[in-house]
């Protein structure tokens, strides 16, 4: 019954005319929106309406939540959901937004009060307990610059996808209907992403320039999040330098950003 009511509610949210003011935010501040074809733009708009209707946004550090904030965060988060079966980040309840990089209090940095605060500043976090934290300055710059390979929202929401089956480990739930196909897919995923992760670690240790940001060498979960950013923002380069990784992400996200409209 709850599933039926949820579907009906979401159908109603998607059925409401998309506000022109919201579309203006996308056109002006999210260039990747214009690169989508008409059907994908419409699908994305429907996802945005559901996301905004279901998730709570909370301003931190005096930050004011506006429609622009909700729409731009939702649009980037929902870009990862196009063409896929989705429950709209089911464990996520709230998005906390600071105006700029913030210092998160943790046991580690509370014990080291003399540590330079700038070195402890964070742009965002993805929590398993139902929250994502974002710095608005980085959210906005990541939305507008779609070619630098850095997008805070894509990164943190890739972690949310990864966490849907438990702790983030770089292996999000795969959606193959047949169990055998899903098993084979997991094996291929582990082989390709595992190899690419080790290659990035090696290249990072050697100081070699890579298409993927070196932060992806931190652990498999960060590798998946960094690879997601690169997949959407540097698709041609990723496809050329890491074709197997590109194909795995293309299969997972059911999208081909290398062929988006220019």
201-214: per-residue pLDDT in tens? 999 999 999 999 99
In degrees to the nearest 10, what's the CA dihedral of 246, 46, 147, 95?
-100
| Residue 137 included in any domain | yes
The rounded distance, in Å, linking the Cα atoms of 79 and 85 is 13
Of 148, 165, 195, the position where a domain reaches its end is 148
Say yes or no to pLDDT of 114 above 60. no
136-154 per-position pLDDT tens digit: 999 999 999 999 999 999 9
- If asked whether residues 209 and 117 sit together in one domain, one would say no
Could you tell me the pLDDT band of residue 262, with boundaries at 50, 70 and 90? low
| Residue 254 included in any domain | yes
Residues 7-22 have a mean pLDDT of: 95
- If asked whether residues 32 and 97 sit together in one domain, one would say yes
Please tell me the predicted confidence (pLDDT) of residue 115.
54
| Residue 200 included in any domain | yes
- If asked whether residues 86 and 143 sit together in one domain, one would say yes
- 8 A C-beta contact, residue 254 and residue 240: no
Boundaries of domain holding 186: 179-259
Of 128, 148, 168, the position where a domain reaches its end is 148
| Residue 161 included in any domain | no
- 8 A C-beta contact, residue 154 and residue 232: yes
- If asked whether residues 120 and 185 sit together in one domain, one would say no
- If asked whether residues 86 and 140 sit together in one domain, one would say yes
Of 148, 166, 188, the position where a domain reaches its end is 148
Q: How many structural domains comprise the chain? A: 2
Collapsing DSSP to helix, strand or coil, 212 comes out as coil
């Amino acid at each position: 019954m709850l599933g039926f009511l949820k579907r009906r509610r979401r159908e109603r949210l998607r059925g409401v005319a998309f506000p022109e003011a919201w579309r203006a935010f996308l056109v002006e501040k999210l260039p990747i929106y214009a690169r989508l074809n008409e059907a994908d733009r419409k699908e994305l708009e429907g996802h945005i309406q559901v996301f905004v209707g279901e998730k709570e946004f909370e301003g931190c550090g005096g930050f004011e939540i506006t429609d622009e904030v909700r729409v731009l965060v939702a649009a980037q988060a929902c870009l990862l959901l196009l063409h896929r079966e989705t429950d709209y980040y089911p464990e996520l309840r709230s998005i906390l937004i600071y105006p700029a990089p913030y210092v998160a209090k943790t046991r580690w940095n509370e014990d080291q009060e003399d540590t330079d605060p700038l070195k402890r500043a964070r742009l965002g976090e993805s929590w398993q307990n139902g929250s994502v934290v974002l710095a608005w300055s980085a959210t906005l710059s990541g939305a507008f610059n779609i070619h630098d390979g850095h997008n805070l929202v894509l990164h943190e929401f890739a972690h949310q996808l990864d966490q849907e089956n438990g702790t983030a480990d770089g292996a999000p739930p795969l959606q193959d209907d047949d169990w055998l196909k899903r098993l084979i897919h997991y094996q291929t995923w582990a082989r390709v992403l595992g190899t690419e992760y080790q290659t990035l670690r090696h290249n990072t240790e050697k100081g070699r320039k890579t298409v993927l940001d070196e932060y992806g060498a931190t652990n498999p979960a960060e590798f998946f999040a960094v690879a997601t950013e690169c997949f959407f923002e540097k698709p041609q380069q990723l496809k050329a330098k890491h074709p197997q990784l590109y194909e795995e992400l293309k299969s997972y996200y059911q999208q081909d950003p290398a062929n988006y409209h220019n």
